[in-house]
Structure 1
C-alpha cells in the first residue's frame, strides 16, 4: 500500500430491510402499478406513452407550482388509461401485493377513488366490488393482509365526496377499512369535506385524508379541525410548527410519511431534509409509505433504505418505524401481534456476518 492509498472500505453489517416485517399504509391504486405492466398494457392497446413514462422513467417531477402538479396529474391519468379490463385490475392489485410481500409488508392498505374508473367498469359500485374481490384474491395469493381505502378527490365537488363516503360506509367491515381525501391539497375548501368524513366516521371507518405536504402547518390544522383524521397522509410540514407538532402528538394522529414522494415532488431538496426524526421526537407515530411507486420509482423497502443511507438511521430506529406502521394499521389484532414479534426478532438477530 502506498502512502496515498485509502484502506479498503468494509461493507456495513446491516440487517435486510425486506426481512423486516412492516405495514404499508400509504399506497395509491394506479400508482402501485409496475412500470413493466404499464408498458405491456399500453403496447397491447396501442396507447402512446410520453417519454417520461418510457425512456426517461422515472419522470422528473416537481409540483410546487400549478404547472408541475398538472404534469404529475397528466402522467397519472395516462397510467390509469391502460386499465381496460377486469383482468387488468386484478393483475395490478396482485402485483402490488406481491411486491409489498417481497418488501416485507405483512399488511397493505391500498387506496382508490372509484369515480376515476366507474365509467369504464359499470359504475362506482361495480368497480368497488371488483377491487374488493381483487384485494381478497391478491391477499390470499401473496400471503399478506390487505384492506381497501376509498378516497375522494378534493378537486371535485364535496357532494361527490359524500357519495363516495356513503359507498365506503356500505362496505365497512366487508373489505373497506377507511375513507380518504387525495389530489392537490392546495385546491378545494377542506372544511367543505367535513360532512363526507362524518358519514365515514359514523360507519366506523378509518379517516385518512392527505394534508401537510404541498401546504404547510395551517392546512394540517384545518384537517384536524374539520376531518378528524386518525392518520394523516404525509403531514411532514408539521415540522415547521412546534404548536402543530404538539397538537398532532396530543391527539394521537399518525403520519404516513413518503420520503421519495417528498423529494420527487420538490417538497424537500434531499432525503436528509425529510423530518422523520423530528416527527418521532415530538411523540408522533410515523408510518413509511411509497405513495406512487410507478411515478417515483421506489417501493416500500426503498423508503427504509433511503433513510438508512441518507440519515444514517440505525436498525433500531428502522424497527421502531416498522412497529409504528403495524400498530397504526387497521390490520386484525393477531396479525399485529405476530408482526410486532417478528420485528423484535429481526432486531434481536445478529447482522449478517457479525461475529
Structure 2
C-alpha cells in the first residue's frame, strides 16, 4: 500500500453520509433533502454549499467534533494515509453555538485518539471565511494568535475566492504569520490565474489551495516552479464542481511537468464522491503516475506539511519503509 498524505480537506466536509445520518438521529433532524440512498445530493455549487452547511450543523458539541475527526482519520489510516491536515473554522463554531476552544479541543481529542489507535499524524489549519469579508479573516487569525494550540499549525482562508481582493484580506494573514503560523490560501479554483498571483503578492503563502488555474498564465507557472510554491490539488473535486470537464483537461500533469510541486487531496470527499485513496487512483489511472511517482507526491506533501522538523523527519522515513 502506497503511503499517502493529505494537506487540503475541510473537516466538516469530511463527514460521510452514514455519520451525518447518525448525528441527524441524535438531534432529531430530517436530512432527506441532502442525503438520499446513502449519498449527498446536489446539482450545482449553491446546492453543494447548502448540503455542506446542513451536514456541518449536526456537529454541535466538543464530543461531536472528537467523533468526526477520529472517524475521518481512522478512515484515512485504513487506506495507508500517514498524515492529514484539515481546515477548521472558528467562525463556524461560533455560528453553531459552540465555543472556539471546545471546537478545537474536540477535534484535537479525536486526532489524539486516532494517532494512538492507528499511528496517523494530524494537524489543523485555522481559516477565515472570505465571503464574510476582511473582518472575518482578521477575527479568525486573531483568535488563533491569542489562543494557540499545539495542533493548530497553519492559517488559511476558505469561501468564495471571487469575493474581496487579497490586498484587503492581508491584515489577518499578517497577524497569523506574526504568531508563527504557516500560511496557505484557496486560490485558482473558481478564480483564474490572477487570483493566484494576487494571493502570492499580498498573502505570501507557502502553499496554494487548488491553484490549478495558474496554468492559464505561463509566467505565473514559471514563478510557482521557481519559488517552489506547493499546490494542494484536488482533481476529483475540480471535476465534480465542473472547474474542468474531464481529467484529460485537468492541468495536474502540465503543472507537475513544469516543475510546480503538486499534491493530491480530497477537499470535501463524500460530497464529491471521492476519497484520498481515490485521488491516488486517479493519479495512477488518469494521469499515468507509477508507484515511485506517487510516493514522490506523498513526499512533496510531507515536505510542505505544517509540522515541526522532527515530526517531518519521522513521516518521511515512513514513505520508504
TM-score w.r.t. the length of structure 1 is 0.85
2:255 aligned to 264, 271, 279, which one?
279
The question of 1:136 aligning with 2:118 is answered no
**Structure 1 residue 105: Cα displacement:** 1.6
Could you tell me whether the CA contact under 8 Å between 1:118 and 1:127 is conserved in 2? no
Q: Judging changes above 3 Å, is the alpha-carbon distance between structure 1 residues 338 and 180 closer, same or farther for their aligned structure 2 residues?
A: same
Matched, 1:146 2:122: yes
Which residue pairs with 1:94 in the alignment? 70
1:43 is matched with 25
How far apart in 2 are the matches of 1:133 and 1:58? 27
Does the 8 Å CA contact 1:185/1:211 hold for their aligned counterparts?
yes
Counterpart check, 1:30 vs 2:42: no
Q: 2:194 aligns to what SS in structure 1? A: helix
2:3 aligns with 21
Q: CA deviation at 1:343?
A: 2.9
* 1:213 partnered with 2:195: no
* Equivalent-residue separation in structure 2 for 1:173 and 1:249 (angstroms): 32
Q: CA deviation at 1:171?
A: 4.4
In structure 2, the CA distance between the partners of 1:133 and 1:106, relative to structure 1 (3 Å rule), is: same
Coordinate RMSD, CA, aligned: 1.9
- Relative distance call for 1:52 and 1:163 in structure 2 (3 A) is closer
Is the 1:24–1:325 Cα contact (8 Å) retained in structure 2? Answer: yes
Shift of 1:225: 0.8
1:106 lines up with 2:82 in the alignment:
yes
2:237·2:272 contact (CA, 8 Å) conserved in 1?
yes
Partner of 1:305: 281
Choose which of 292, 295, 301 in structure 1 pairs with 2:268.
292
Instruction: Rate the CA distance shift 1:96–1:56 in 2: closer, same or farther, 3 A.
Output: closer
- How far apart in 2 are the matches of 1:22 and 1:322? 5
1-side partners of 2:38 and 2:246: how far apart? 21
TM-score, length-scaled by structure 2: 0.93
**How has the CA–CA distance of structure 1 residues 331 and 256 changed in structure 2, closer, same or farther, with 3 Å as cutoff?**
same
Unaligned runs of 5+ in 1: 1-18, 62-67, 346-355
Residue 35 of structure 2 is aligned to residue 59 of structure 1: no
2:214 matches 1:232:
no
Larger Rg over CA atoms: 1
Gaps of 5+ in 2: none
* Deviations 1:214-261, CA, capped at 9 Å, x for gaps: 111011111001110111100011111111101112222100001110
Aligned partners of 1:142 and 1:314: how far apart in 2?
A: 26
Contact 2:153 2:307 (C-alpha < 8 Å) held by counterparts: no
- What per-residue deviation string (whole Å, max 9, x for no partner) do you get for residues 6-58 of structure 1? xxxxxxxxxxxxx2222210010111112210112113322122445223724
Task: Give, in angstroms, the shift of residue 334 of structure 1.
Answer: 3.8
Question: 1: distance between equivalents of 2:208 and 2:148?
Answer: 20
Q: Distance in 1 between matches of 2:48 and 2:213?
A: 20
Cα distance between partner residues in 1 of 2:312 and 2:133: 37
Q: From 169, 187, 190, give the equivalent of 2:145.
A: 169
Deviation at 1:344, TM superposition (A): 3.3
